[in-house]
Chain A
């Protein structure tokens, strides 16, 4: 198992290296990072030249990348155009985004299990058909429009009850009470709508997948034999069938991580979160090479780690993988 995980990790190294170089080169070629500094009144040419020297703008791109990569493996992601160290900056934004994404994945899986297994037990029922139409529409709905829709609904709901129940802008209030409870309540109030947006989209695909897997497992001989032995249906479905029906879902969830992080960029824009999405868009707008590449490095690592986690769950569910 350990060897399997290490091999998986090693496989992802070239992917991360190539993609970080691509982003580095593309952002480096995209414009002048010092344009803002130059435009500021009272900034001397010497200041601009010094900053340009510090950012090594005169060197060719591959040399700059190698220099950056050399320090990146030691945990130093360089400084932004504004002079702020990139690593703490990216990690701060990552915390904000992960809060939304991880919760959305958990909610999405829970919802997919309930809907998927529920509809699988009554295939072709009214509920099942409604579920399949609804999930098709949700899957086809662009995430930014769904976010905007939920935001509008949230605002109207707040107006209706006369106070702010679900927040529609930002990831936190500027000032919250000092107690832990009020901080948690504030964060949760801000989380509801963005998380719901991501979870709904994820759930739409996953629930159909879970439905198909459950139906297949329910027809398997070992489930029929469990039934024949007179086990209660609750135990047959909940224990015997579910365990094997979870295996395909784990694989799908793992492959969707990158897409969910991509969707989070759009959700953050709609709900005005200061997370990874904002960070990336700002970095690209400013041609900030170090921030954009740091963003990519951290995001790709998160995807790789989450994929490994999914592999572990996969192995826990399927003994054939543990002892190949």
Chain B
């Protein structure tokens, strides 16, 4: 019942649907391009530093790469990283947050201190230091995704812990305990379903963070490594040429910002749908 009400609320916020469609469109375009021309983003042509044209919708770079294909490939890599991070960090964060909230005691202290650690240390240090060592692996985007997951889960853990703390005191939990249900069963069947709203919202926040961190690392030259490319790498290359060949900077940037806005719109829509009271404030 709650979910149909939530779905109706979601429809009232077209931003979320638009955001989801936007992301799906980028991903679909990148997948199609990857099928038609698997090496398109790496192929060199004789058109050096060309402005956007029908042949090259986003122009070309100094050594003849087609920017449109590069942007599509980069967006795909960024989205892949974001999805892996969202799944890993949400599962880890939910598990540990639920444990901390339900168990309390030293488990709670340990997990809370870990969360503090991430909040005190600029995340970028951990990533920069770790990425410098690990990115020489073959599937560099997967390594980066794992790294970002390591720093991204505590946010979710914190949210889930707070939610579990409040649900734990409800009477239906006491009832389940009185019936002799195991702690695991209580957590999975009784407690977590009541924390779905904050988990969903925090998952979209994780996704946004993941895109920002991955592109930032790639921008610094520490993220997705050649021959793969990422929107961050493309912006870094285009940035020095912004004055003379603006397309190299603006096209990857605009696609990147659009993707981030789509993720933010989904989060915003979910939040208002799951917490309607918030809208009227």
Contacts and interface: CB of A to CB of B under 8 A. Distances in A.
Interface of A: 11-12, 14-16, 18-19, 22-23, 26-27, 29-31, 136-137, 139-145, 148-149, 151-152, 155-156, 212, 215-216, 255, 258-259, 261-262, 265-266, 269-270, 280-281, 284-285, 292, 295-296, 299-300, 303-304
B133 A30 contact: yes
A-B interface, 10 closest residue pairs, ranked by CB to CB distance from nearest = A140-B260, A262-B122, A262-B124, A152-B242, A30-B133, A140-B264, A145-B253, A148-B239, A140-B261, A19-B121
A144 B129 contact: no
Contacts of A258: 119-123
A303 B257 CA distance: 29
Size category of the B interface is 35 or more
Given A26-B133, A284-B128, A300-B120, A140 B257 contact: yes
20 contacts: A26-B133, A29-B133, A30-B132, A31-B133, A137-B261, A142-B216, A142-B219, A142-B256, A142-B260, A144-B219, A144-B235, A145-B235, A145-B253, A148-B235, A259-B123, A266-B220, A284-B129, A299-B125, A300-B120, A300-B121
Contacts of A299: 121-122, 125
Contacts of B124: 262, 265-266
Q: Secondary structure at chain B's binding surface: helix, strand, loop or mixed?
A: helix
A144 B213 CA distance: 11
Nearest to B209: A259
Given A19-B121, A215-B281, A258-B120, A140 B263 contact: yes
A14 B109 CA distance: 13
- Could you say which of A27, A136, A140, A285 has the most chain B C-beta atoms within 10 Å of its C-beta? A140
Interface in B196-249: 208, 211-212, 215-216, 219-220, 232, 235-236, 239, 242-243, 246, 249
Interface in B90-119: 113, 116-117, 119
B265 interface: yes
Nearest to B257: A141
Contacts of A280: 125, 128
A295 B119 contact: no
Nearest to B246: A152
A54 B148 CA distance: 35
A286 to B, nearest CB: 10
A286 B151 CA distance: 24
B47 interface: no
B63 interface: no
B268 interface: yes
Contacts of A151: 239, 242
A188 to B, nearest CB: 24
